[in-house]
Structure 1
């Protein structure tokens, strides 16, 4: 080290939002004698990592392992510099991976400072994404449809968590989604989760979903419970479309202390609980989809999570998929996919379920977009 490091967080807050990787790299080179520094961000499918500083898109299995496991990794080949991968995450959201080469393996105070710097960079990148297109542009391998652009901007993130829980969601196909969506919000010990099955295609489906989601958010941010959220959204959709279209939605309110779950089942998303070695569908009575009739009323149903439970919510593009005349994916193949996630965190489990769905299609084009949301309750 050439001198005592200045706080990286203060440097990042003073930097332009599109220059955060350069500021972090200069800090690491100056104070930690880092040779190569790279900031890697995931593509929309979470299957590849793209560099923000260097050219190209070189495969890096170690970086992908770090991104998936959210654990640091070090490697050293032929007595050369130590390559270090640090996860970039913020409030449970996987932002990317910091890759750097150091003269020696970091340990003790140095390792702690590097981990703290990675956390500062992750938080800054998460905040800056609203002020610059640089990071979102790096995540795209192709141009999004206008409908997909609306859907991605509407999402709350891809994961969220703390010591009590971890929740993650995945939306496919990434570049041409239509109306399926997920949303969540944390307020103290209460986590609200919604999953919507979009109705229709293209921009009309995206606009319908945007109306329903923002109506529910409007009610939620005024302190309304999930019944009032569903009723306001239903009234908003019916007022705009007169019952011609509607959106099937599952609203959940989870008590992160006691594990109680309040549910409003307004349509077709299915809820599953993986407990011990088994997985079962939660038996909920379907009520009217949002917007089908004016002044619709909804009732709460209740069930309970146990410590260590995994809860999944899947849209009909998952559970009702019947490619090539096969049985519904949700009949048995979905349960097999859920069993394969047993040792994975929620952030990886959603990808496993979606890969199972893609394999089930055996190369055929899906007829519907799809959402999977996975919640691990750790209490």
Structure 2
């Protein structure tokens, strides 16, 4: 039996694997940009299933399901072409629609069809306004460009999506419960996968924290990042901090040479009772101790990144995290927010002091990333020693 066009369309939609998945930044970026370009209150990426509309990304519109019978986008899918409704109250197809009649929030609609890699139309990128309007040919061209962007994301290679999930699983599942301390962290790749990572673990009753940043982005950087994490995790329980960093560099040397890259790394171990903090800075330079008042203290050295020179070594230095002081570590993705190191120090100190705790500080960084396009991976870790 030859499947109907609708059966083929539904199979293509389900093969994408995006139905009933949580929000993703790669789609959220498109709807935010569309809202700014077209100055409309509502934008959505809607996927049309057998009997429902699933909203994958939106501004001004709830995410999740809506009956297909109430969907404007199902008409776009059926037409397989851009559909413009200049004034829904004057269009007999939609004049009695609840959104048009009951609250009057939908007067203008335009839907750009979205195709699966196999060509079937599976949904629409739509714009909605509460008053009649029109789009110029140039604006329709921009909308088509954004639609193609969504289609590329829908067709993202399965291996890359799986790699993103693997990389996510390499990050700590949750903060370590350590008396007298609070901690939080985030790792925000500029692409599906990135070259940053952070980790925390207990080593000989001390809290070890690591942040690393591989030069570059994407799959190659992500693979190297996974290697660094594995080497540090393996070496740390059996070696002093500087030796663990050295063994990691030696273990990764061939990979750095083959790919022509290197990695900056900051690693520290904190003795919980005293706050004594031993650290190695391998070209990272973006670690800061922020007291409640006064000047923050930068933790840095002149040591080079991993992979910069063969047979290089790294030195351990000492600081102390006093009660009510906060250690913040960031990757150089912060330079998407500020222009130079001095501004980075000021910004980091400011957000730490504005935050009630590490979790709220990290939440603020994540919120910034959600509302801006990052050119580089951004990682941040915040460790606070609680007041005595």
Give yes or no for the alignment of 1:248 onto 2:260.
no
Unpaired stretches in structure 1, ≥5 consecutive residues: 1-41, 46-55, 58-141
Does the Cα contact within 8 Å between 1:180 and 1:371 map onto a contact in 2? yes
Q: Which of 375, 384, 387 in structure 2 is aligned with 1:367?
A: 375
Q: Which residue matches 2:286? A: 270
TM-score using structure 1 length: 0.56
CA separation of 1:183 and 1:281: change in aligned 2, threshold 3 A = same
Unpaired stretches in structure 2, ≥5 consecutive residues: 1-21, 26-53, 56-155
Does the Cα contact within 8 Å between 2:211 and 2:329 map onto a contact in 1? yes
CA RMSD, aligned part only? 3.1
Q: Which residue matches 1:186? A: 202
| Residue-by-residue CA offset, 1:159-195 (whole Å, 9 max, x unaligned) | 2223221221111148724111101111453001000
Shift of 1:328: 7.4
Aligned with 1:152: secondary structure? Answer: helix
Shift of 1:158: 3.8
Q: Which residue matches 2:363? A: 351
Q: Which residue matches 2:241? A: 226
Does the Cα contact within 8 Å between 2:211 and 2:267 map onto a contact in 1? yes
TM-score using structure 2 length: 0.54
Does the Cα contact within 8 Å between 2:205 and 2:271 map onto a contact in 1? yes
Shift of 1:371: 0.6
Give yes or no for the alignment of 1:339 onto 2:353.
yes
C-alpha distance in 2, partners of 1:373/1:316?
Answer: 13
Does the Cα contact within 8 Å between 2:269 and 2:279 map onto a contact in 1? yes
Q: Which residue matches 1:115? A: none
* Number of residue equivalences: 236
Q: Which residue matches 1:236? A: 251
Give yes or no for the alignment of 1:316 onto 2:332.
yes
C-alpha distance in 1, partners of 2:210/2:341?
Answer: 27
CA separation of 1:159 and 1:310: change in aligned 2, threshold 3 A = same
Compare CA radii of gyration and give the structure with the larger one: 2
Q: Which residue matches 2:172? A: 156
| Residue-by-residue CA offset, 1:18-64 (whole Å, 9 max, x unaligned) | xxxxxxxxxxxxxxxxxxxxxxxx9899xxxxxxxxxx99xxxxxxx
Does the Cα contact within 8 Å between 1:265 and 1:287 map onto a contact in 2? yes
Matches of residues 66-145 of structure 1 in structure 2 within 5 Å?
145=161
C-alpha distance in 2, partners of 1:326/1:165?
Answer: 30
C-alpha distance in 2, partners of 1:326/1:263?
Answer: 23
Does the Cα contact within 8 Å between 2:288 and 2:299 map onto a contact in 1? no
